[in-house]
């Protein structure tokens, strides 16, 4: 029954089924998992005498009269007014009117119970809501007296309001759900009663029935507790089992850094001392590297926290053991920059010189001849370190002995990519177990702990929570078009800085002029080069330029031949030019908060004081609340973790959690910003269960595993990893 199509239910025809499908509801089970968005309390009586005229309110009641009145036409336009009289369950009456929406009088015929939300006005001494938002909650049976109707309302206390469509309003969905609840009989619980008791949770049947038809707010709360727990436990179990499944039968390598080895010599040769956070990261990673289980660790750190050093240090551990290491960057630009950084860091130890480390670059721009040579040298083991893009693991690249892989930026690296790594190394013989290299994933996007535990529940996490000393926080200012003279001052500032050998980025949301009217890099570059800074060299980089043109522009900016770089977000991550001290972001409200933070992180990397100017495209009071809140947050703090938490709050978990994007089941009720304690609890529980019973042999665990597989079913990658060995 649960897996049957909704049309199995009485009253659900093909038309309704089609509407339900647009809401993602196809089976009876989908319908039961289509949870209310919120509840209207039909028995709640708002004291009308206390409602303030001019302020917004939601009033609930039964329509007792509905009329349409003709108004005097305006010119040749016909005008009419639908007028309702609505009675609260306490007996008090208010009016509702709709201008030129005569059908409202039919839709809201007497007997209809609805919630009306709008601004409260007054008409002939009575409260009136003009063209309010309406949610139909139900109907009072025909022929009931006023007292009986009020009684009906009191009995329908909490009415669930569902995500609905125009053609399929919430109250119809409610009848369908009620039919489904009647049809299914008691729901099987996938949680063991002992665990339920231990966690103080109600059983599944009770939870599902009360979330749809609660009598009291307490029912809603208990139902929610249980269902949130389910969502998060499934997620954590899925992540743990998936990791377990992946690593099953695979062995890791002992890549423990050698005493006095390459890493130690690198640290000795540094012109600075590692921060405490970097040292702690070394220790944690060293312990992982030595285990026979493959490392899978996330290295998180705010921009400028020094992740690159940790990455190189980790890679060198492989070299200590006679193996190789690869660093994968999301773009060619970043791969090239990583190569430069690594070369500089390793210079004191000798790079591409006898007795030193041999390091190569491999991207899709590498010439065919060079590519062949690099591939040969990787296969023979002559190259120790290789830096590149995803091409490194996707194509027929073979390593003599790949020991460590570092991935810069986590989001494009999923389970299947990690699986692909096992074929990369020739270390294992054909009969032996598969060997997985140690993997370190770096992200410059600070992720709130709650989110990290949710999305990366299967990774171990190291956080670089300390910036190298001597950094001056970037000064951030917010400007809008109403202050043209401040823009002038900013340009003067850039010109003065240029005179001192310092540089400025100007970031635009678009490459070329488009319909949206947003500032384009190409257009703005021309404007700045020709009109504002004819005396300076203004370069341009964006994603549509050829790699060599991009590289040439970057190179001029890096060396100081160019003083201003107009760019799109291609420079968002990792670009490192210490002399760049000014960041201008055009149409700043169009960018996401973490993106803005990353962009700002491109300056403030040297000893000089840096500035970031956020240019809003409209006066601040005309921005959306959200846009304004983002820009304000950025002005207030430079702490990436604080910003990430704000971002999560502003966006909600939904967007961060698009199933297609993350490869994880949707969270419907759980909120990662609010349910932090449940996230922690379910993660610990999942770890314990999976460690004790990796093959879910225990029937209790087998049931859990079944539920996990079902809920991960839309995520093929996840499912494959769970089901196959």
Query: Site residues (CB under 6 A) for ligand ADP?
Result: 272, 274-275, 278, 301, 303-309, 444, 468, 576, 605
How far are the Cα atoms of 62, 88, 144, 172, 418 from residue 154, in angstroms, in the given order? Answer: 12, 10, 14, 20, 57
Is 159 or 299 the residue whose CB approaches ligand ADP more closely? 299
Bridge pairing between strands 38-41 and 158-161: antiparallel
**Cα gap 496→10, rounded to integer Å:** 76
End-to-end CA distance of the chain: 31
Q: Which is nearer to ligand ADP, 576 or 611 (CB)?
A: 576
132's contact among ligand ADP, Mg ion, none, with CB below 5 to 8 A by partner kind, is: none
From the CB of 608, what's the least distance to ligand ADP, in Å? 13
The Cα 346–Cα 267 span in angstroms is: 10
Closer of 214 and 301 to ligand ADP (Cβ): 301
CA separation for the pair 218, 497 (Å, rounded): 62
* Shortest distance in whole angstroms from residue 213 CB to ligand ADP: 52
- Joined together, the tokens standing for residue 715 give 């995520």
Q: How far is the CB of 463 from ligand ADP (least distance, A)?
A: 12
Q: What residues pair up with 112 in beta bridges, in sequence order? A: 139
- Taking the complex as a whole, the smallest distance from the CB of residue 284 to Mg ion amounts, in Å, to 19
Whose tokens are 């139902």? That residue is 223
Contact of residue 675 among Mg ion, ligand ADP, none (CB under 5-8 Å per partner type): none
Strands (E), 444-547: 460-464, 475-479, 503-507, 538-541
Q: Smallest gap, in angstroms, from Cβ of residue 504 to ligand ADP?
A: 19
Bridge partner list, 205: none
CB atoms within 10 A of CB 463: 20
Distance CA 160, CA 170 (A): 8
Tokens (6 digits) for 502: 């310092």
Q: Which does 476 bind (CB under 5 to 8 A by kind): Mg ion, ligand ADP, none?
A: none
State the minimum distance, in angstroms, from the CB of residue 273 to ligand ADP: 6
Least separation, in Å, of the C-beta of 6 and ligand ADP?
50
Rule CB under 5 A: which of 295-324 touch Mg ion?
A: 308
Q: Of Mg ion, ligand ADP, none, which one does residue 653 interact with (CB within 5 to 8 Å by kind)?
A: none
From the list Mg ion, ligand ADP, none, partner contacted by residue 366 (C-beta under 5 to 8 A by kind): none
- What residue number has its CB nearest to ligand ADP? 306
Which CB, 40 or 309, lies closer to ligand ADP? 309
| Residue 303 binds: one of ligand ADP, Mg ion, none (C-beta under 5 to 8 A by kind) | ligand ADP
What is the DSSP-derived secondary structure letter of residue 272? S
> Minimal CA–CA distance to 457: which of 296, 281, 272?
296
Toward Mg ion, which CB reaches closer, 233 or 345? Answer: 345
- The 8-class DSSP code of residue 514 comes to -
Q: Which is nearer to ligand ADP, 578 or 694 (CB)?
A: 578
Closest approach of Cβ 312 to ligand ADP, in Å?
9
Contact between 365 and 548 (Cβ < 8 Å): yes
Please count the other Cβ atoms lying within 10 Å of the Cβ belonging to residue 11: 11
Q: How many residues bind Mg ion (CB under 5 A)?
A: 2
CB of 526 to Mg ion, least distance (A): 31
User: What is the per-residue binding string for Mg ion in 562-581, x denoting contact by CB under 5 A?
Assistant: ------------x-------
Q: Of Mg ion, ligand ADP, none, which one does residue 437 interact with (CB within 5 to 8 Å by kind)?
A: none
Closest distance to ligand ADP from the beta carbon of 540 (Å)? 24
Q: Is 112 in the site for Mg ion (CB under 5 A)?
A: no
In the list ligand ADP, Mg ion, none, the entry touching 523 (Cβ below 5 to 8 angstroms by class) is none
Residue 288 CB neighbours (<10 A): 22
CA 367 to each of CA 197, 371, 379, 677, 681: distance values in angstroms, whole numbers, following the listed order: 64, 6, 18, 53, 52
The answer to whether the Cα torsion of 541, 544, 545, 550 is positive or negative is positive
Does residue 381 contact residue 417 with C-beta atoms inside 8 Å?
A: no
CB of 468 to Mg ion, least distance (A): 12
CB-based burial label for 723 (10 Å; 0-12, 13-18, 19+):
exposed
SS3 content of the chain, % helix, strand, coil (to 5): 45, 20, 35
From Mg ion, ligand ADP, none, which one binds at residue 410 (CB under 5 to 8 Å depending on kind)?
A: none
Encoding tokens for residue 629? 């809140």
What are 529's two structure tokens?
């080069």
What is the C-alpha separation between 196 and 59, in angstroms, rounded? 39
Place of tokens 């770096």: 442
- Closer CB to Mg ion, 36 or 304, in the complex: 304
Using the minimum distance from each CB to ligand ADP, give the nearer residue, 468 or 694: 468
What distance in Å separates the CA atoms of residue 702 and residue 684, rounded to the nearest whole number?
18
677 Cβ contact partners less than 8 Å away, ≥ 6 residues apart: none
The count of other CB atoms within 10 Å of the CB of residue 32 is 19
Looking at beta carbons only, is 436 or 444 nearer to Mg ion? 444
Q: Which does 306 bind (CB under 5 to 8 A by kind): Mg ion, ligand ADP, none?
A: ligand ADP
Return d(Cα 359, Cα 346) in angstroms, integer. 10
| Minimum CB distance to ligand ADP smaller for 321 or for 503 | 503
Residue 297 contact, options Mg ion, ligand ADP, none, Cβ 5-8 Å cut-off depending on partner type: none
Closest distance to ligand ADP from the beta carbon of 308 (Å) = 3
Contacted by 275, from Mg ion, ligand ADP, none: CB < 5 to 8 Å by type: ligand ADP
User: Which tokens in the block code for residue 671?
Assistant: 């909120």
Nearer to ligand ADP, 524 or 605 (CB): 605
Site string for Mg ion, 259-298 (x = CB under 5 A): ----------------------------------------
Of residues 217 and 272, the one with the C-beta less far from ligand ADP: 272
Binding site partner of 309, from Mg ion, ligand ADP, none, Cβ cut-off 5-8 A by kind: ligand ADP
Residue 274, binding choice from ligand ADP, Mg ion, none, Cβ under 5 to 8 Å by partner class: ligand ADP
Q: Which is nearer to ligand ADP, 42 or 303 (CB)?
A: 303
CA distances from 136 to 42, 73, 163, 426, 553 (A): 11, 31, 13, 66, 60
Structure tokens at 33: 């998992």
**By C-beta, is 330 or 574 nearer to Mg ion?**
574
Minimum gap (Å) between residue 438 Cβ and ligand ADP: 20
CB of 217 to ligand ADP, least distance (A): 47
- The residue ranges that bind Mg ion (CB under 5 A) are 308, 574
């Amino acid at each position: 029954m649960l897996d049957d199509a909704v049309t199995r239910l009485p009253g659900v025809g093909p038309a309704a089924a089609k509407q339900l499908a647009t809401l993602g509801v196809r089976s009876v089970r989908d319908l039961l998992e289509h949870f209310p968005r919120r509840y209207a309390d039909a028995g709640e009586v708002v004291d009308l005498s206390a409602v303030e005229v001019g302020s917004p309110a939601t009033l609930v009641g039964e329509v007792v009269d509905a009329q349409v009145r003709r108004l005097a036409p305006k010119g040749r336009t016909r005008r009419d007014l639908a007028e309702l009289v609505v009675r609260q369950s306490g007996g008090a009456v208010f009016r509702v009117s709709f201008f030129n929406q005569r059908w409202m009088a039919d839709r809201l015929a007497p007997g209809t119970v609805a919630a009306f939300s709008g601004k409260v006005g007054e008409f002939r001494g009575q409260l009136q809501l003009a063209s309010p938002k309406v949610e139909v909650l139900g109907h009072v049976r025909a022929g009931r007296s006023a007292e009986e109707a009020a009684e009906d309302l009191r009995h329908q206390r909490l009415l669930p309001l569902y995500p609905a469509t125009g053609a399929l309003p919430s109250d119809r969905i409610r009848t369908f759900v009620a039919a489904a609840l009647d049809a299914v009989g008691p729901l099987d619980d996938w949680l063991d009663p002992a665990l339920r008791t231990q966690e103080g949770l109600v059983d599944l049947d009770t939870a599902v029935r009360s979330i749809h038809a609660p009598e009291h707010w307490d029912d809603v709360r208990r139902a929610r507790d249980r269902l949130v727990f389910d969502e998060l436990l499934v997620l954590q179990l899925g992540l743990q089992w998936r990791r377990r499944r992946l690593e099953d039968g695979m062995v890791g390598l002992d890549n423990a850094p050698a005493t006095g080895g390459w890493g130690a010599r690198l640290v000795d040769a540094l012109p600075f001392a590692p921060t405490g956070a970097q040292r702690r990261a070394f220790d944690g990673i060293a312990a992982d590297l030595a285990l026979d289980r493959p490392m899978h660790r996330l290295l998180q750190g705010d921009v400028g926290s020094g992740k690159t050093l940790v990455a190189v240090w980790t890679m060198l551990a492989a070299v200590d053991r006679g193996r190789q290491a690869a660093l994968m960057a999301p773009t060619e630009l970043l791969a090239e920059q990583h190569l430069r950084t690594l070369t500089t860091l390793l210079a004191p130890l000798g790079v591409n010189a006898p007795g030193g480390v041999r390091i190569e670059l491999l991207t899709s721009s590498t010439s065919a001849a060079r590519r062949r040579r690099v591939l040969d040298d990787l296969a023979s083991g002559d190259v120790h370190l290789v830096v590149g893009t995803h091409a490194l693991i996707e194509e027929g690249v073979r390593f003599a002995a790949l020991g460590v892989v570092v991935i810069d930026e986590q989001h494009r690296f999923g389970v299947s990519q990690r699986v692909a790594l096992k074929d990369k190394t020739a270390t294992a013989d054909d009969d032996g177990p598969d060997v997985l290299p140690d993997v370190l994933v770096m992200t410059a996007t600070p992720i709130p702990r709650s989110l990290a535990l949710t999305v990366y529940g299967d990774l171990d996490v190291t956080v670089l929570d300390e910036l190298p000393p001597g950094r001056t926080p970037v000064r951030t200012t917010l400007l809008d078009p109403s202050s043209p003279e401040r823009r002038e001052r900013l340009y003067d500032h850039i010109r003065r800085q240029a005179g001192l050998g310092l540089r400025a980025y100007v970031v635009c949301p678009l490459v070329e002029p488009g319909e949206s009217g947003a500032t384009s890099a190409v257009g703005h570059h021309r404007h700045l080069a020709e009109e504002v800074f004819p005396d300076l060299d203004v370069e341009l980089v964006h994603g549509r330029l050829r790699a060599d043109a991009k590289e040439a522009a970057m190179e001029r900016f890096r060396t100081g031949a160019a003083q201003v770089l107009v760019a799109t977000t291609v420079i968002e991550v990792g670009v490192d030019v210490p002399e760049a001290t000014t960041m201008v972001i055009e149409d700043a409200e169009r960018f996401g908060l973490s993106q803005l933070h990353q962009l700002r992180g491109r300056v403030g990397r040297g000893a000089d004081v840096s500035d970031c100017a956020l240019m809003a495209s409209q006066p601040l009071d005309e921005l959306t609340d959200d846009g304004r809140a983002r820009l304000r947050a950025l002005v207030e703090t430079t702490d990436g973790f604080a910003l990430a938490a704000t971002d999560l709050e502003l966006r909600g978990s939904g967007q961060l959690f698009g199933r297609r994007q993350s490869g994880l089941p949707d969270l419907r009720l759980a909120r990662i910003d609010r349910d932090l304690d449940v996230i922690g609890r379910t993660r610990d529980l999942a770890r314990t269960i999976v460690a004790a019973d990796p093959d879910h042999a225990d029937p209790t665990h087998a049931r859990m595993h079944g539920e996990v597989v079902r809920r991960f079913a839309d995520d093929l990658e996840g499912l494959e990893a769970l089901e196959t060995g």
